Amino acid sequence: MHQLTPALIADGVLFLLGAFLVAAVCSDLKSRRIPNKLVLAGIGAGCALNSVLPEGNGFLSALPGAAGIGAALAGLATGFCLMLPMYLLRALGAGDVKLFAMTGAFLGAEAMLPVVLATLIAGGALSLVVAIHADRLRRLADNLRTMLLASYFKLAMNEMPAFSAMPEPAGKMPYGVAIAAGTLICIAIRRGGVELPWFASVFQ
């Protein structure tokens, strides 16, 4: 029987976070929404586990363990604030913002920067796959060209360009997939001790 070490406890917590993320992805793919009950349950679990489990520097740190309720709330707020601008630009939905805040409640504020970077990379890659699969890459390029030309002419007329919504949709990916992928990639890198080149050291 394995001894219940801090590392093993942290792995259990991260597995629970992964289960919440997978459940959110399944709901997002099925109904294009992430239930509030699921996110609130995840936030409660993240805050509680960071409060009652043996103390450490966070479940992704070299000294794994609970970082405390303050760190969980700081992570929640950081996750929310990092994704809020994308929600205001209508690039993602409110459920995606709350899902990222839930992730912060588990991981703490310090871990959220690499997670958001990994999420943005995963989102870009998955969006490209969706666009190609839906045969909408040309439409995406046309939309981008239209925006750039409109901005150029506005600048030529000494007007400030305004970046409004694209004139024709080019396909939309449920962003919960990107959040889950980015988070799980960071967990795998940190907990798996993966060595990355210097330019990707932010993920370690």
Above 50 in pLDDT, residue 62?
Answer: yes
Contacts 24+ apart (CB under 8 A), 65-68: 65/6, 65/9, 65/10, 67/108
Residues 157-196 have pLDDT tens digits of 665 545 444 444 444 568 889 999 999 988 888 877 665 5
Q: Report the chain's mean pLDDT, rounded to a whole number.
A: 81
Q: Could you tell me what percent of the chain has a pLDDT over 70? A: 72
Ranked by mean pLDDT, the top range of 1-5, 16-20, 151-155, 200-204 is 16-20
| List of long-range contacts for 66-74, beta carbons under 8 Å, 24+ apart | 67/108, 71/108, 71/109, 72/46, 72/47, 72/104, 72/105, 72/106, 72/108, 73/47, 73/105, 74/104, 74/108, 74/109
